[in-house]
Each structure stands twice: as C-alpha cells, then as structure tokens.
Structure 1
Amino acid sequence: MSVGISEFFTVSQRAEISETGGGHNQKGIEFQKNWALIKMLEMESNNSEDFLFLFEAVQDIAILDSEIDPKKIKLFQLKKKDRGEWSWSGLSCLSKPEDPQKKKKSKRKSIPLESIKSSPIGKLYNAVDAFKTMSSEGRFVSNSGCDLLMKDGSNAATSTMVSLDMLPTEFSDLLVKALQSFDPNGSLPDTSKLYIEKVSIPVDDPVPYSIGKACEFLRNRSPLHAGQAQSFVESLLIKITPLGARTETCRNFEEMRYRHGFGRKNFQAALNSLEKIIDPTPYYDSWLNQLQKEGFNLIEITAIRIALTEISRRKLSGTNLKEDIEIEMEVKKLLPVNPIPPILQPWLETLTASLAEMFPHEKKAKLRAYILCGAIEQCVDLT
C-alpha cells in the first residue's frame, strides 16, 4: 500500500475529522451526484492521467490523483441552496468583523472563535489539515455564491471560485485566529488551501444539465455517440448512486474503494461500453423514413422511434429486462433466415407476426423496434 493510500485510510478513520453521511436531502444527493459526474467529464476532457472519486469518505467527496500512488487530494463539501446566498456567518459560524474604514460601533457580543469548529469552513479545514504527506486542498461547492467582497474588489457571490486567502484583512485575520483553535500550538493555518466555488448546476432538476455536458464531451471524444448522452449519464448515475449510501466502517482501503470509489478506469469502462453500442439514431431516421413512404402512419413511426430509444437506453445502462433479452435472442435467430429486402414493410410485418406469437403481451411497436435494431446491428457487423 502506498504512503498516500495509507494516509487517506488513516484520516478517514478519525471520527473527529471524517464528516460523512446523513447531511443531504434528496435534492442535495442529486446535486452531489451530478456535480461528481460533471467533474469526471471535465477531468477526462483535460486528459487527467488518473483519478479516484471517493463518496462520503472524509468529506462529501474526496478526489485522489491516483488509485495506486496518490500525491494530491482534493476534498469537497457540496451544499445546495434553494434561495439566497451564503453569508460569512453561515460558512464560518463567526461574527462579521468591523470594517476598519468605518467608525467603530458600540461593542457587541462576539461569537467565540471556537465556534468555527462546527462550521462548513472549519470542518473542511480540519480535514485538509489532517493530510501531512499528500498535498491537500478543500473546496466548499454550492449552486449559490457567498455574499462577501474580496480584497481585490471581486465578489464571491458572482465569482466561480475564490481562495480564502483573498479575503479582506479583517476577515482573513479573524479566520486565521479562529482556525488556530484546532491546534493552538501549531503553525499558522494556510487559508490558500481553502476555496469557495460556485457552480451552475440547477438543484431542482440537474440531470438535463449533466446530459448537456455529456453531449458536449461526447461530441469531442466520440462524435458518433453524442446522441447517446442521455443514456450515458443515466448509466453513470446508476453506478454512482450506491457509493454514498453505505455508512458502516470499512476495515481497509480496498473495502473502502469497493464501497465508495469510482475511478478513471471505471469511467473509461463506461465510455468503452457506450462506444461498443452503436448510436443507431441516424440509421433509425433512414429506415423509418422508408417505412413511412411504404405506408406506415405517423403514429406507428413515432411509437417505433420511442421504443428504439428505450432499447438503446436499457442496453447502455445494463438494465435490460428478462423479456427484452429473450426478444433480442429470438430476433437474432430470425434475421439470418429472413434477409433484409429492398422493400421493408412486408418483411418487418412478417417478422413482427412471428415474434407476436412468442410474446403475445408485448406491444407491436416494441417488437418492430427490436427487429429494426437487430437488423441495423447486423448491417454494421457486415461492414
């Protein structure tokens, strides 16, 4: 086991540092999963040599730069907000310091510096600071910004990402003093390792946004499969969903990797699966247009198209039903002895009638779709 892996597992077992489980409602869970998926797309687009996402391990998500011998770790707290912006006190549990440029007001009761220990920033810093071997940083990520002016004049409410070492002096001094409460005899806290990041992911329905990002990724990486972006996203979300659900203690890193991890090799396996499945959309259009010219009405064509889309989606996500597999097997038996003719309609209706005898409860559109899907795959295999 590498030094980095050993350090990560050791830190993950420290109850006073590991802040995981139970902190998200359903919207928060969906926000977290879709953020992770988009982050993977981004890292793969940037040709990252390796990565390993660990869900609900130390923080909401930890990203190591290697599965085998990590040197860097990034820790992420992901918090969705339905309305408004984050405030200084909401992030730090500290009072807002007096503006040194303004006349001091009457003394008010100050919040103890130790209060930061229960704050999002405090918990994130404590986790980041626990790593002494690996290079570490922490990010507080939300769909909302923080209502806070930085010393360069920018506003954290509108900036995509700002480092906390860019805080105005009065805030920076207060933050450093408060973070020292974790280790009064230690070195000065390094706030350059802490960031506030605002992302554009909508919290009410994040999946369409993820599909858009996946489509953009596939256009660049695998253009022939860009039309399968929705299936690709659904497949990845199915794989990611269980990784943050289990909260029992892991006995070793291998067990943690199995329960909570999703690495670059997993992402590439999903991408390879996508590329093995033909994006049949352009072929569907050609074949369905011909069937419409031969006499199929618009309702029949639409029903077949919907069924074809569902077939492709289930294949990619690995969620085929038992009857789907049985239909596909029968189609593979029928096609070799029923060659594809120039006129499609009589051929398709004959094969559909044969399948209907074996699967009397299935809709005609679904049976037709499986025949067309199998025929198109047969054509591709011959090229």
Structure 2
Amino acid sequence: MSITSGAADLLSVANNPKYSESGGGHGAKGVDFSRIWAVFRMIELEKANEPDFLLLFESVQDVAELDSATAPTRVKVYQVKKKDSGTWTWSVLTGTVEPKARPVISTKATKTKASPPKLPKVSDFKKVPESVLGKLHLSLNAFTALPVEGIFLSNQGCDFPLKTGGSTATTMPCSLADLAAEHVQLLTDAFASLSPGGPLPDLTRVRLQKAAIHPDNLNAPAIEAALDLLNERSPEHAGQAKAFVESLVMKISPLTRRTDTCLSFDELIKERGFSRGSFIAALAALETVPDRHALFNDWMGQLQAEGLDFMTISSVRIAATRAQQDRLTGGSDASREIDDFSDAWIAANPPTSKLRPFVEAALAELKVQFSAHRDNDLIARFVMRAITKCVDPN
C-alpha cells in the first residue's frame, strides 16, 4: 500500500459526514469524557514509546487513531461514550433484540434437545444502522486500503455471554467474535444486512473496551498518567501534571468542533488532528516554565536565612507536599478558597526583598479567615500561590 493510498483512503472516509460523530451524543460531560480519554490515550502511546501517532477528532466516529501523521499504515476507529451508571444493553449497542437461551423440548423417548433457533427477519435489523456498533461497523467497511479495527470504549461495561463461559462484564477488552455463538450469529446477520451481497462481516476487528474514568472525576486518570510520564521524563515538572493535562484538553477542544470538508490529508491533520509531534511540543513547553519546586526551595532557604526556625521550615515542606497531592486530584473547596484569598492578598501586597515579614503578614490575615487550618498548612499554600503568581502573573 502506498503512502498516497493510505492517506487518500482516510481522507475519503473522513469527508463523508455519515461516518463522523458530532458533539459526543451525551452532552457536555460526554464531550469532556472523550477529550480526557484522548489525552490519556496520547500519554499511554507516548509511555509505550510509539514512534509516531495521530489522533483525528470527529472525523471517523469520535476518534480515529493512526500510527503515523505522514504515512499511515493502519487505523483504529473509536466510539467513545460516557454513561453515568448501569451497563450498556445489547439493544442500544446493536439495535437488535438479545438472543435468549433456547428452550429444551422433551421427546417421547425422554431425550431432550434444544428447539431450533428462530430465524431473523429483515425487520429485526431496521435499527442496526443507527446503533453504536452498527455505525462503527459501517465506518470500518468504508475503508478500502488501510487495515482498520473498531473499538467501542466507555466508562461502563456491558454484560454479554462469552463462548468460553463467563461474561464481558469481567472479561474486557474482548472482540465481538468472542461472544457466545448465538450472539455472534445474530451480529453476523445484522451487520451483513448493512451491506447485502458484501463479504461476511469480520467480528474479530470490533472490540469492546472499558476505561476506568469516573464521570464525576474525569481528569484523575489522565493526571495520574501524566504524573508518571513527567516523573520519568522531567521530574522537576511533575508538579505540573494537572496543568499539562488541562492544557492538552484545551488544545484538543477546537479540533472537535470543525466539520468542514478538507481538501487534503494535510488540511485534515491541521483542522482536526493532534500528532505525537504536537504532544512532544507541549511536553517540551514545560521546560520553558520555571521550576516551581526549585523556587519553593529558594523561598524556604531565604526564610530560614531570615530566622524562621528549622522545625517550622520542615513542617511547611511536609504541608506543601500534602497540598501538591491535593491539587493534583482537583483540590477541595477549602483549598481553593485559601488559594483565592492568597491571590487577592498578593495582588494588594506585592512581595518585598525580605520574605519573612511578607509571609508572616499574610499568615496573620489567613489565620483570621481560615482559623481551622494549621499555620504550616496556610504558609505552605500561601507560598505556593505566591510562587505561582511570580511564574504566571495572569
């Protein structure tokens, strides 16, 4: 397969509106879920040392993952759906009625046998084209040059029987070909109805996958993954894991809202794509930001030189570690109130060359507003905010 044929194949499918998903289908949280998962997936690919990758948004279903931004040789097509509770039902995913276990009929000879299966009618498949897996299957069939597989990915699983026993509820990821025989046959017939006269549907190339992302705390897994990556690649910037994830989500957001037809593969990448090159550039941008940990150490060193005792300094360092861990998981209302108060106080009282009087004056007012908090915690959070304002005044 030539480079041109692979790129042209992708461009042709992406420019057909019936193969794209717009808006996520589950409101604002659904869109956020898709973007957060995309960031998590990019971090996952980078940690796996993939030489290149490209994610295209709402071009082919929700996300299309290519192995190269210049010479794609394969593609993964994702339907990424959030569900607040419960499991996905067979009818929603397939547009068909889930097959029941066949009843056993007694014979005169006291032997038993299963009743013959009920043959499906054409009317049984009328909802398949608009079902989740039906649309995914149609998207895969649209490719003529690139090898392609489809993944239905959600924060909630489904409970379908497997041919080896057990259920998809406890065995994911798995392919549709791994389902019980009667389910495989029904899906084969259902997907075949979408392309009468075409080749037999290949259920091995469609997978069910679950992502451990809670709808009420979407960022947590991506932040944890970013923290691991930064600890490995740039330990001095590990404290910026949350900001790194948020910046990537902001970069992705405009890409999910563009639906114009693209005249070339390069234009498609520019309008709706985020490549490994872009990811590495975002990672490298952290190196231009002053090291907050080093600045914190500088402040602690100066405060100690100005007479703040060693035990207080040590306690503030411990409190700062706890505060940073809290911040990485989103923080609490109380911590955000302390940050907001500190920001306002710093704006009205800029730092002086002597840090101890500056910090002690702030502490005196913080203790009035947040009397339930220990001095060391208040000092740690205040100093961290003061450093942040020095690094990014906006």
TM-score range for the pair, normalised by the shorter chain length: 0.7 to 0.9
Number of the residue aligned with 2:377? none
Cα distance change of structure 1 residues 285 and 175 upon mapping to structure 2, 3 Å threshold: same
Query: Which residue in 2 is equivalent to 1:221?
Result: 233
Paired residues for 1:140-151 under 5 Å? 140-151=152-163
Distance 1:64 1:106 in 2: 41
Which residue in the other structure is 1:284 paired with?
296
Give, in whole Å, the separation in 1 of the partners of 2:191 and 2:34: 26
In structure 1, how many angstroms separate the alpha carbons of the residues matched to 2:128 and 2:385?
Answer: 62
The answer on 1:57 being equivalent to 2:56 is: no
* Deviation at residue 160 of structure 1 after TM alignment: 3.3
Assess, with a 3 A threshold, how the Cα gap between structure 1 residues 345 and 186 changes in structure 2: closer, same or farther. same
Q: Distance in 2 between matches of 1:61 and 1:68?
A: 18
2:281 alignment partner in structure 1: 269
For the Cα contact (< 8 Å) 2:152–2:209, is it kept in 1? Answer: yes
Matches within 5 A, 1:300-315: none
The 1:266–1:136 alpha-carbon spacing in structure 2 relative to 1, beyond 3 Å, is: same
TM-fit CA distance, 1:109? 9.7
- Quote the residue 1:8 is aligned against: 10
> 1:331-358: per-residue Cα shift (whole Å, max 9, x none)?
9xxxxxx9x9xx8658999xxxxxxxxx
Contact persistence 1:145–1:159 (CA under 8 A): no
In structure 2, the partner of 1:163 is 175
**Deviation string, structure 1 residues 259-289 (Cα, Å, up to 9, x no partner):** 2110000000011111332432144045236
Cα gap change, 1:8/1:109 in structure 2, threshold over 3 Å: closer, same or farther? closer
SS in structure 2 at match of 1:182: coil
Please state if 1:92 is matched with 2:104. Answer: no
- 2:47 is aligned with 1:45: yes
Q: CA separation of 1:184/1:216 partners in 2, compared to 1, >3 Å: closer, same or farther?
A: same
**Per the alignment, do residues 279 and 175 of structure 1 end up closer, same or farther by CA in structure 2, a change over 3 Å counting?**
same
Point out the more displaced range, 68-77 or 144-153.
144-153
Scaled by the length of structure 2, what TM-score is found?
0.73
Helix, strand or coil for the counterpart of 2:63?
Answer: strand
Of 142, 146, 152 in structure 1, the residue corresponding to residue 164 of structure 2 is 152
Query: Unpaired segments of 5 or more residues in structure 2?
Result: 106-114, 329-349, 361-381
Quote the residue 1:74 is aligned against: 76
Any idea what SS the aligned residue of 1:63 has? strand
Give the residue type in structure 2 aligned to 1:246: R
Secondary structure of residue in 1 paired with 2:62: strand
For residue 64 of structure 1, what is the amino acid of its counterpart? L
Partner of 1:378: none
Q: Structure 2 vs 1, CA of residues 255 and 21 (structure 1 numbering), >3 Å: closer, same or farther?
A: farther
Report whether the alignment pairs 1:174 with 2:176. Answer: no
CA distance in 2, matches of 1:344, 1:18: 56
- Of residues 241, 244, 247 in structure 2, which corresponds to 1:232? 244
Does structure 2 retain, via aligned residues, the 8 Å contact 1:114–1:178? no
Are 1:58 and 1:127, in contact at CA under 8 Å, matched by a contact in 2?
Answer: yes
Q: Deviations over 1:134-177 (max 9, x none)?
A: 11000000000011121122321233311101011101011001
Corresponding position of 2:336: none
Read off the aligned partner of 1:239 and give its amino acid letter: K
- Per-residue deviation at 1:366? 10
Please give the residue correspondences for 1:242-253 in structure 2 after superposition, counting only pairs within 5 Å: 242-253=254-265
**Equivalent residue letter for 2:101:** D
**Counterpart Cα distance in 1 of 2:260 and 2:217:** 30
How do 1:126-137 residues align onto structure 2 when only pairs under 5 Å count?
Answer: 126-137=138-149
1:379 maps to none
Q: Counterpart of 2:22 in 1: which secondary structure?
A: coil
8 Å CA contact retained: 2:160, 2:169: yes
Partner SS for 2:193: helix
Distance 1:108 1:169, change over 3 A: closer
2-side partners of 1:268 and 1:22: how far apart? 27
Query: Which residue does the alignment assign to 2:108?
Result: none
Measure the CA separation in 2 of the matches of 1:367 and 1:7.
Answer: 50
> C-alpha separation between the residues in 1 aligned to 2:97 and 2:294?
60
In the alignment, the residues of structure 2 paired with residue 243 and residue 210 of structure 1 have an alpha-carbon distance, to the nearest angstrom, of: 19
Q: For the Cα contact (< 8 Å) 2:159–2:167, is it kept in 1?
A: yes
Q: Which amino acid aligns with 2:93?
A: L
Which residue of structure 2 aligns with residue 35 of structure 1? Answer: 37
Name the amino acid aligned to 1:8.
Answer: L
8 Å CA contact 1:227–1:279 kept in 2: the answer is: no
User: Partner residue of 1:255?
Assistant: 267
Unaligned runs of 5+ in 1: 314-330, 332-337, 350-363, 375-383
Q: How many residues align?
A: 329
CA shift for structure 1 position 31 = 0.5
Q: Which whole-Å deviations, capped at 9, do the CAs of 1:174-226 have from their partners, x for residues lacking one?
A: 10011011211111000000011011011122113321121012122222221
In structure 2, how many angstroms separate the alpha carbons of the residues matched to 1:367 and 1:102? 71
Contact 1:41-1:217 at 8 Å conserved across structures: yes
1:138 to 143, 150, 154: 150
CA change 1:372–1:97 in 2 (3 A) is closer
Q: TM-score, normalised by structure 1?
A: 0.75
